Structure 1
Amino acid sequence: MEPVESSAGRVRAFIRLGRPKFLVQSMMVVGLGVTLAVHDGHAFRPARFVLTLLFAWCTHLMTHYCNEYFDLEADRANAAPTGWTGGSRVLVSGLLRPQVSLGAAFVLLFAAVGLIAAMPTAGARAVAAVITALSWFYTAPPLRLNYRALGEAACAVVLYGLGPVLARTLQAGAPTGADLVWVGAVCALQFLRMSVMNLADIEGDRRTGKRTLAVLLRPPGLTRLYLVGQLVVAGTAFALAVTGAVPWSGALAVAATGPIAAWVARRLLAGALERSETANAVTFWASVHLPLTTCAITLSLFAGQPVRGAWPAVYGVALAAFLVWLAGAVRGNLPRRTS
């Protein structure tokens, strides 16, 4: 590792501190929201797409830097972090001062407020303001939502709930009822995913008084929640398809990524999060399940109704970038052979 005393070392540590690998999720969330608007017959607005993406990345990074500062005690108490939970470990390792993380969070907060002011409608500004507030108080006082068993719901609502709603609103106004079905599906799956991530951090959270759902429900209860939740989401999608409320292509898109959730559930039942050699794979696939499902639903919307204009090409670039990232992430999480 490059010495932190060097400028390059500090820059690399600062980038790691922000955990940019998670930004692919907000990119695909914005893509879903824009696709909902275009699928509903509205013209693609490139400038508003860029504004939405900048805001999504700004608030996403803000949340990471904010969490690193306010979660420092819990991260220090976490003796078994994975590559996807337990923070970046930059502050825990002493590579940068905690004030650097808090300062970055405030800069990004002010930038987010500026982007909100640039939004053209009161409805979009209201949604964006709620996103920003919930993101900041996810770990920041006085609310500290993730310390009061509300973090899982707050994260799901912010990223996979209000995220696509904001993108849809900036493109073409409030979403339709059918749009909200798909937003609700990915939002519910994000809630379940965050429950698994907090389960991976349970020991450190317990020692520092951090009351997540994993701490309250304990591993058996949390595992049951994940299993039942996945079945409810898939079952609801199929029930709505049977009634004709949503197209079958969307329900099949949700089912297409179901094997990933099933694999995660099996590992949870086997206690994989209790072993460091298997915990990283579980948290990785629980995380990847969400953007993959979002992509599958988005592509089902394209398949259900031909979309003209520039948006398919723009989304194609975003999808290609995600797939390149995914391929690298999968390679990085494959078990290493020992000679």
Structure 2
Amino acid sequence: MSATEPPGASVAPGTAAAFLRLARVKFLFQSMMVTGFGVTLAVHASGDFALSWYLLTLGFAWTTHLMTHFCNEYFDLEADRANPSPTAWTGGSRALVEGLLSPTVSLASAFVTLFTGIALTAAMPTLTTRLLAVALMALAWFYTAPPLRLNYHALGEVTCAAVLYGMGPVLAALLQSGSLSPLLLWCTALVCVLQVLRCLIMNLADIEGDRLVGKNTLASALGPRRLARLYAAGQGSLYTGVLALAAAGELPLVVAVAQLACAPAGLYVLRALRTGAMAERRRADGVTFWASMQLPLTTCGTMVALLADLALRGRPAPGLWVALAAGTTVAFAWWLARTALAARRRAAADALPGEPALAEGRAERA
């Protein structure tokens, strides 16, 4: 379902639209940004850019991201069915829940993308990058798949962060330059912790359905109050770190400013947690939206700031990467504006009297 469709718009069972909804392609913008993030950190350190390795990394990132979606849809089906209040960002695509596709379609698609990822891994140049890619795929697969089912044993939040915002940019950087800079390690740690905090919010939104099926996420283990305290401590520690590193001259000022500019998203989420927003479907959509947006906004802002820092130092990045990074940023900005508009329309529809049931099938799930 696209963001321009009216609330309650239906998707025919077994159609290409149903499959796109199952794939949740809107989230691929995040793995695109993660890839650009890692490449830009490598370019900032080395000054070089290899188009072939960028394309391989992006293909691997999208393939693994899709594999995770298909795998999660299949192995999380019981929890998704038990979830009484999915949001636009949590509770799965609902394509299987609503009977639009057979669960076997999701499982088969997961295996196809897994084998595609393995083929792309074989094309990587070093043993280190191949092992890292294999580890990334394994963690992504067992996030919900048995026997590990990491997200069912309070390990999902950390696993998701390690895969998407930790190993993802590190792999992209290694394929570009073969080495890791101190700046890359800090920036990767920053977005990794932000992703853990974001996953806590996502799982908090699904907590009722998860508990019904015995899915013990970290959010469920903590409970809303301790989760809010952990979220506040995490946000505060990260941005204190940004200030400290900038003051010590270890973080370029323009990069620090870009990262600090994303702090209001976390403050909004924290305030919403403390005012009980997650108990209301309409407000919960907004909380999960901004918790999700803080990550790509931070990666996007950092990427632009790194390129600006190179230019200010008199050694601009290669023109081809500047053009690709600009295209990535524009594409993300378009998606963000489109998604924000869809969220506003859903909120307005939820506010209409006498139509509480509209929320059940409304989310922009493609």
**What range describes the TM-score normalised by the shorter chain of this pair?**
over 0.9
In the alignment, structure 1 residue 310 sits paired with structure 2 residue 329: no
Percent identical among aligned pairs is 53
Selected match of 1:26 from 27, 31, 34: 31
* 1:2–1:250 CA distance, 2 compared to 1 (3 A): closer
**Conserved in 2, the CA contact under 8 Å of 1:79 and 1:204?**
yes
Contact kept, 8 Å, 2:47 with 2:318, in 1: the verdict is no
Superposed, which structure 2 residues align to 1:142-161 within 5 Å?
142-161=147-166
- Corresponding residue of 1:120: 125
- Pairwise CA distance, 1:2: 4.3
Match of 1:207 in 2: 212
The answer to whether residue 342 in structure 2 is matched with residue 332 in structure 1 is: yes
2:171 maps to 1:166: yes
Q: TM-score normalized by structure 2?
A: 0.90
Query: 1:1-339 to 2 correspondence within 5 Å?
Result: 1-4=10-13, 9-306=14-311, 307-334=317-344, 335-336=347-348, 338=352
Measure, in 2, the Cα distance between the counterparts of 1:277 and 1:48. Answer: 42
1:174: how far off? 2.3
Structure 1: gaps of 5 or more residues: none
Deviation at 1:37, TM superposition (A): 1.2
**1:66–1:102 Cα contact (<8 Å) kept:** yes
Q: How many equivalent residue pairs?
A: 335
Moved more, 301-310 or 315-324: 301-310
Give the match for residue 357 of structure 2: none
Partners of 1:42 and 1:172 within 8 A in 2: no
Structure 2's unaligned 5+ residue stretches are 1-9, 312-316, 354-366
Contact 1:234–1:251 (CA under 8 A) maintained in structure 2? no
Question: In 2, distance between residues paired with 1:71 and 1:23?
Answer: 20
Report the AA paired with residue 319 of structure 1.
T
Structure 1's consecutive aligned runs of 4 or more residues displaced over 3 angstroms after TM superposition are none
Q: Contact 1:26/1:60 (CA < 8 Å) preserved in 2?
A: yes
CA offsets 1:242-287 (integer angstroms, 9 cap, x no match): 1222222222221101111101110111111111111111111111
User: Contact between 1:241 and 1:248, CA under 8 Å: does it hold in 2?
Assistant: yes
Displacement of 1:41: 2.5
Q: CA RMSD in A?
A: 1.2
Q: Higher RCO, 1 or 2 (CA under 8 Å, sep at least 6)?
A: 2
Q: 1:2 to 1:196 in 2, by over 3 A?
A: closer
SS of equivalent residue, structure 1 residue 142? coil
- How far apart are residue 42 of structure 1 and its match? 3.3
Give the C-alpha shift of residue 118 in structure 1: 0.8
Q: Determine the C-alpha separation between the residues in 2 that align with 1:86 and 1:11.
A: 21
